[in-house]
Amino acid sequence: MDASDLLRNSLLQLSKQEKIRDVIEKAPVSRSVVKRFVPGAERADVVGAAAEIAASGRRATIDYLGEDTTDLAQAQHTRDAYVSLLTALRDEGLTEGGTVEVSLKLSALGQALPGDGNTIALDHAREICEVAKQAGTTVTLDMEDHTTTDLTLDALRELRADFPTVGAVLQAYLYRTEADCRDLAHAGSRVRLCKGAYKEPESVAFQAGAEVDKSYVRCLKILMQGEGYPMVASHDPRLIEIAGALAGQAGRDPRSFEYQMLYGIRPEEQKRIADRGDQMRVYIPYGQEWYGYLMRRMAEKPANVMFFLRGVATKS
């Protein structure tokens, strides 16, 4: 095991340690750091953050933190949280034209429940999509580990029958993703392309960072040349530059695709991209489950640790 694997595994273990969470949560310095990347645990916190993002010319997508729910009441609570959030965003005038949308994890909505988990999660997602539609915005289905990819894409097809603007997330580190991009590069489709956030086996995913980057570019080329709406989720300056070049080669209007970055990471670069006339959307997480989110983001790859540490020291 090399140093990066050791760091990743250590962070993933820390994400599960409630005692460590308690220590970090109570430390004054930690609270200020966490707030930089997760605006808060309550709905009012994230609505305020989304309003600030929108005022700066950026867009937003909001994730109510939590996944792998095995309790029906918790799944229902997550559904209700999204319904209340969308109502609050609409009342603040933030949803019109999709300025602020929401991102859903089907496992948080009950997909892992025994028996009818898939049906329960889909029904909950459908209720959220209906409220989003009434509010003038839409929904993107987050992707989780590879064992749920087909289930998530099946849910996407079902939801799009009634809510055609529902978006999907594809992960470039999976071998299958080029084919999935071809399937989804059609008119009306919205696809967020990210590198991938889960520790996947070599049997299904590229392991080397350079191979993941190459796959990302191949997938992005397919999406840019297609008729859908690509969403470029990356903080990598080189990939962002390549995305712009591919969009130019495909003759894309700046409004026909967007860049996406996480809340609190490279905010000045986010504003610069928006100010130059491109669309920039910020992924904003909120809720009580911030600790696991923070640790998992840092565990994605060692470079993310530096992203977060730089965030402590600078506002750029």
Q: How far apart are CA 309 and CA 312, in angstroms?
A: 5
Q: How far apart are CA 306 and CA 251, in angstroms?
A: 35
| Tens digits of pLDDT across the chain (316 residues) | 455 555 455 544 544 556 656 655 555 545 666 778 899 889 999 999 999 999 999 999 999 998 888 899 999 999 999 999 999 999 999 999 999 999 999 999 999 999 899 999 999 999 999 999 999 999 999 999 899 999 999 999 999 999 999 999 999 999 999 999 999 999 999 999 999 877 788 999 998 989 999 999 999 999 999 999 999 999 999 999 999 999 999 999 999 999 999 998 899 999 999 999 999 999 999 998 877 677 666 665 555 566 555 554 554 4
At 212, list the tokens: 């993941």
116 is catalytic: no
Name the one residue in this structure whose structure tokens are 């867009």.
59
Which member of 59, 192, 266, 296 is catalytic?
192
Q: Which helix (H) or strand (E) holds 103?
A: strand 100-104
CA 162 vs CA 60, 86, 130, 155, 159: distances in Å: 23, 18, 9, 12, 6
Q: How far apart are CA 118 and CA 155, in angstroms?
A: 9
Q: How far apart are CA 147 and CA 104, in angstroms?
A: 17
> Are residues 256 and 238 in contact, defined by beta-carbon separation less than 8 angstroms?
no
Rg (CA), the chain: 18
Q: Going by C-beta distance under 8 Å and a sequence separation of 6 or more, which residues neighbour residue 272? A: none
Which member of 142, 180, 213, 278 is catalytic?
142
> Are residues 89 and 138 in contact, defined by beta-carbon separation less than 8 angstroms?
no
Q: How far apart are CA 95 and CA 91, in angstroms?
A: 9
CA 293 vs CA 38, 57, 165, 262, 285: distances in Å: 9, 26, 27, 12, 8
At 165, list the tokens: 């603007």
Residue ranges of alpha helices (H) inside 163-233 are 177-184, 209-225
> Are residues 170 and 141 in contact, defined by beta-carbon separation less than 8 angstroms?
no
Q: How far apart are CA 306 and CA 313, in angstroms?
A: 11
192 is catalytic: yes
